[in-house]
Amino acid sequence: MAKLKIRKIGDEALRKVCRPVEEITPRTLMLLDDMVETMRAADGVGLAAPQVGILRRIVVIEVEEGNVIELINPKIIATAGEQEGVEGCLSVPNRRGTVKRPRHVTVRATDRNGQTFEISGSDLLARAFCHELDHLDGKLYVDRASRMEEI
Provide the annotated active-site residues: 132
Per the CB < 8 A criterion, the answer to whether 5 and 52 are in contact is yes
CA-based nearest residue to 1, from 24, 27, 33, 25 = 33
Tell me the three state secondary structure of residue 117. strand
Q: Kindly tell me the burial class for residue 144, based on how many C-beta atoms sit within 10 Å of its own C-beta (0-12, 13-18, 19 or more).
A: middle
